[in-house]
């Protein structure tokens, strides 16, 4: 049942210790900073976080990692010039890393939302990241078996929601939002604007409200 | 996907809540009443679509149609008819405020990914284990057609079947084992019939209520052990 | 390279005998009648056609089947009250049928466009339509292995195209269009309107022009 | 994905088309000139993004960025900067008329489904068979990061590599076998370097042209047989 919350603290109040949390965003675009800050404040710990990166500078996901709340990262590109908090935890052996090619990350998240139990993809064949994985020759190519990534919670950022929970995004901030919304048991969305039911053109809805549980207006 | 065990309730205590068997519309009304507020629902094609006539505004139910829409409204009439806006049965329908359109892979991802709360389907047979047979009579000369039946049967959180309890030749369609080709295995959670509502549970088939027959009279009509 | 054609005849001129042709539409909604008529006129034969249905009444795909141009149908729902041309050919043993659950049809078409070599799905497990197929227990359920459906050509209908080949659709006529456009080597689109480059909002494009080869305005 | 065999051309006949090695910008200009009109192209991150500076309007090239956009324009400056509009390197960019946005699974489906005509990538090493190594130095203390490199390497119709021919210690980076961990197997079709353009063909490594060296001088620098 869709709920509109007044504060980000209320929006993330039900996130449990030990949860797998998907966090939208590619770099800073689409990263739900306010929800992440609220998650930090909530004290939730022992989290597995799914995000393309592993935090940048001293904000958002980077702080969650710094504070030791993240047990494991599932991501494609942890190492950046400003990923110092992740780097420190990783070198200290205090955080687990599952490194996933970005397309496999996206497709595995999509598979979870779409009810696909696993799929074969050419990406990664013959590389370190496919070591120990099942391979099969299909459609003229060697392919690697990959499995879905499910989550308990998704924290995402959209531009607008209507009263039914339908979402639209803005430019490249769309990125992982729509597929994470479908892959998580509970999807929590921060938006810049809430419009009445009927305020979004049905042709242009990107995430239908069926994938959304909680909405909070931010800023 | 069997319903939560209700073994705390003594078996065989279902009440006769109507003195007569239920007609199609009364049955549709009953199904509609049982759908939780805020649910996302697919009503398949044919008889189950009657359920939409009895959903109330307060329930805030969103209807899905497999051909790419959430927020489907009632059948279109007169000037409302638009050939680009049809339901899974290819009948012209309308769009409600808050609707959304999406392509076929996204629509079936929604169904197959377990996002629909309830789907209501017709059936030739349902087994005591919740197997569903509703796509093929098995007749050797029949041209088979499956549509979205297998996706709905497998994907929805709850699969409700609406059917008459007895076939034209007087045999129960809730059976120990399906003899028709199945659509899905162990997928049905409830069976709404003119004579009773059945819950398919881990402990077997439980009768929730009966219509025009007593529990004992009902049990006489069927080869399936009832609780 | 994107081409705009003046007539439907020119648009389908390169379809070869023996091709696999995807045809958009669910019932009549989104069915590209004018392109199908042009394909009939072109004389192309020995076709494998992928469509949700197998033709209705005496128009479109039904005529292609009636005229014996279709060797094989891949579809989910051939039998309808007005599918008499398919019914007759099928009973006469003059057309082959691969019956596919509708969600598998959609997902297999999507897989072809997305470079997925195969996937596991619960749909169809334990049924006649999964006989002889590989099964595997994944995510707590028995699942069936399904493979992509590729095509040489897709004939689809959209509402508008811009000068870059970007497409938008109308209501439930969208259906198979976007996934077929991505799954075929050559995608031919009939539209009601062509607008200049910049005439579609980038947020609302449904099929990016990368998936489109040929556009013809109809009506 | 090796280039069509060019065995009709006699081997070892590549011309020296520049008296000096090419700088990064000249190399970018050369790559840009070689991309067929109307192509859809991904330029990865880093050095290959220089290619965009030399694409002409007449070429009508559409640039893809993995984070969900076709029709990417030049880097944003001043007031154009929008934190919601960035490229794969997280640099603010602009939107051209006719652009489109899509989510990450759709973006990578586009890459992995073979729809991009060309992608241009940097590399640590390329093997004579077209294996690419560009994501990991293999150093035991390195924090690995792969991003979209493996998807681009595997998915694009043509994979062009741009790199200096020699490493800092003077060794050829076009090698018989990659010693760095590979990104993709047999995926590279062309290698653009400061000293020569190499075509990876079914018949081996062919030199298309050389810069500042003769074919023979080039062959001396490398352990890979050249044609």
Looking at residue D1, what is its pLDDT? 45
Is pLDDT above 70 for A146? yes
Task: Phi first, then psi: give them for residue B176, nearest 5 degrees.
Answer: -60, -40
Is A132 within a domain?
no
Q: Specify whether the CB–CB gap between C117 and A97 falls below 8 A.
A: no
Yes or no: say if B61 and B39 are a contact pair by the CB < 8 Å rule: yes
Tens digit of each residue's pLDDT (9 = 90 or more) over D81-121? 999 999 999 999 999 999 999 999 999 999 999 999 999 99
pLDDT reading at C75 higher than 80: yes
Above pLDDT 90, what percent of chain D? 89
| Residue A170 in contact with partner chain D when CB distance is under 8 A | yes
- How many domains, chain C? 1
Any CB–CB contact under 8 A between C55 and chain B?
A: no
Chain B: give the shortest CA distance to residue A161, in Å: 10
Interface B:D, ≥3 CB–CB pairs < 8 Å: no
Question: What is the CATH classification number for the domain harbouring A162?
Answer: 3.40.1080.10
A75 assigned to some structural domain: yes
Distances (CA, A) of C219 to B79, B115, C16, C61, D66: 22, 39, 26, 19, 37
Q: For B100, which of A113, A163, A166 is closest by C-beta distance? A: A166
Q: What is the pTM of this model?
A: 0.97
Catalytic residue among B3, B66, B209, B216: B66
For residue B69, give how far its alpha carbon lies from the nearest alpha carbon of chain A (Å).
9
DSSP string, C47-102: EEEE-SBS-BTTBTHHHHHHTT-EEEEEESB---TT-HHHHHHHHTT-SEEEE--H
**Furthest C-alpha separation in chain B:** 55
Model pLDDT, residue D31: 98
Would an 8 Å CB–CB cutoff place C198 in contact with chain A?
A: no
Q: Tell whether the model's pLDDT for residue C123 goes beyond 70.
A: yes
The domains of chain D are located at: 15-220
Query: Does residue D7 surpass a pLDDT of 70?
Result: no
pLDDT level of residue D3 (50, 70, 90 thresholds): low
A48 phi and psi, to 5 degrees? -100, 120
Decide if B54 touches A, using CB distance below 8 A.
no
For A205, the domain range is 3-117+148-217
**Coil, strand or helix: which one is A68?**
coil
Query: Which residues 150-179 of C are in CB contact (within 8 Å) with A?
Result: 150, 168-171
- Mean predicted lDDT score pLDDT of chain A: 97
Tell me what the mean pLDDT of segment A110-132 comes to: 98
The percent helix, strand, coil of chain D (3-state, each to 5) is 20, 30, 50
pLDDT score recorded for residue D139: 87
Q: What is the pLDDT of residues A160-170, one digit of tens each?
A: 999 999 999 99
Q: Which residues of chain B are under the pLDDT cut of 70?
A: 1-10
Q: Please indicate, yes or no, if residue C92 is contained in any of the structural domains.
A: yes
The CB density around residue A161, as the number of other CB atoms within 10 Å, is 27
Q: What is the pLDDT of residues C124-163, one digit of tens each?
A: 999 999 999 999 999 999 999 999 999 999 999 999 999 9
Distance from CA of C129 to the nearest CA of B (A): 9
Return the HEC string of D7-51: CCCCCCCCEEEECCCCCHHHHHHHHHHHCCCCCEEECCCCHHHHH
Q: State whether A117 and C114 contact (CB < 8 Å).
A: no
C-beta of residue D45 within 8 angstroms of C-beta of residue D62: no
Residue C2 has pLDDT above 80, yes or no: yes
The minimal CB distance from C120 to the residues A116, A122, A202 is found for A116
Buried b (16+ CB within 10 A) or exposed e, B55-83: beeebebbbbbbbbbbbbbebbeeeeebe
- Which pLDDT does position D123 carry in this prediction? 97
**If contacts are CB pairs under 8 Å, which of residues 105-124 in chain C contact chain D?**
110, 112-116
Active site residue B75: no
Query: Which positions of D are annotated as active-site residues?
Result: 66
Q: Is residue C201 part of a domain?
A: yes
Contact: C166, D112; criterion CB under 8 Å: no
What angle is formed at CA A31 by the lines to CA A25 and CA A36, rounded to 5 degrees? 125
CB contact under 8 A, D82 and A171: yes
What is the distance of C-alpha C65 from the center of its chain? 15
CATH architecture of B15-220: 3-Layer(aba) Sandwich (3.40)
**Three-state secondary-structure class, residue B119:** strand
Q: Say what the pLDDT of residue D11 is.
A: 72
D109 and C115 within 8 Å at the Cβ level: the answer is: yes
pLDDT value, residue D70: 98
> What pLDDT score was predicted for residue D140?
83
Is position A142 within any domain?
Answer: no
ipTM, two decimals: 0.96
d(CA C144, CA C121): 5
The predicted structure's pLDDT at residue B4 = 52
In a domain, A35, yes or no: yes
Task: Return phi, psi of residue A106, to 5°.
Answer: -65, -45
């Amino acid at each position: 049942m869709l709920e509109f919350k007044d504060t980000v603290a209320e929006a993330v109040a039900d996130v449990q210790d030990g949860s797998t949390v998907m966090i939208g965003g590619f770099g800073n675009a689409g990263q739900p900073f306010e929800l992440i800050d609220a998650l930090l404040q909530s004290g939730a710990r022992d989290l597995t976080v799914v995000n393309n990166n592993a935090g940048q500078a001293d904000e958002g996901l980077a702080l969650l990692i710094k504070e030791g709340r993240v047990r494991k990262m599932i991501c494609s590109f942890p190492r950046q010039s400003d990923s110092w908090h992740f780097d420190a935890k990783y070198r200290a052996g205090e955080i687990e890393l599952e490194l996933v090619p970005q397309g496999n990350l996206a497709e595995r998240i999509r598979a979870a939302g779409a009810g696909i139990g696993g799929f074969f993809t050419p990406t990664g064949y013959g590389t370190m990241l496919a070591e120990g994985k099942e391979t099969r020759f299909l459609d003229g190519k060697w392919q690697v078996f990959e499995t879905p990534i499910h989550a308990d919670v998704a924290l995402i950022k959209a531009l607008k929601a209507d009263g039914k929970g339908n979402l639209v995004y803005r430019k490249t901030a769309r990125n992982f939002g729509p597929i994470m919304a479908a892959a998580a048991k509970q999807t929590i969305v921060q938006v810049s604007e809430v419009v009445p039911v009927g305020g979004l053109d049905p042709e242009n809805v990107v995430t239908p409200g069926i994938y959304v549980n909680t909405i909070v207006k931010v800023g | 996907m069997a319903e939560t065990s209700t073994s705390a309730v003594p078996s065989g205590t279902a009440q006769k809540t109507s003195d007569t068997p239920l007609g199609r519309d009364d049955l549709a009304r009953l199904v509609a009443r049982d759908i939780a507020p805020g649910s996302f629902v697919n009503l398949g094609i044919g008889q189950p679509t009657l359920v939409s006539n009895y959903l109330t505004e307060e329930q805030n139910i969103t209807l899905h149609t497999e051909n790419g829409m959430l927020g489907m409204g009632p059948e279109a009439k007169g000037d409302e008819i638009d050939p680009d806006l049809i339901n899974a049965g290819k009948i012209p329908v309308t769009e409600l405020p808050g609707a959304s359109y999406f392509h076929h892979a996204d629509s079936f991802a929604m169904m197959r990914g377990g996002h629909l709360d309830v789907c209501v389907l017709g059936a030739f047979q349902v087994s005591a284990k919740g197997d569903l047979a509703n796509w093929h009579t098995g007749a050797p000369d029949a041209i088979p057609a499956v549509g979205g039946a297998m996706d709905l049967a497998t994907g929805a959180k709850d699969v409700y079947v609406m059917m008459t309890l007895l076939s034209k030749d007087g045999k129960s369609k809730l059976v120990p084992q399906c003899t028709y080709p199945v659509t899905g295995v162990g997928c049905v959670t409830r069976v709404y019939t003119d004579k009773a509502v059945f819950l398919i549970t881990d402990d077997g088939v439980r009768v929730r209520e009966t219509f025009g027959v007593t529990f004992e009279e009902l049990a006489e009509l069927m080869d399936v052990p009832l609780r």
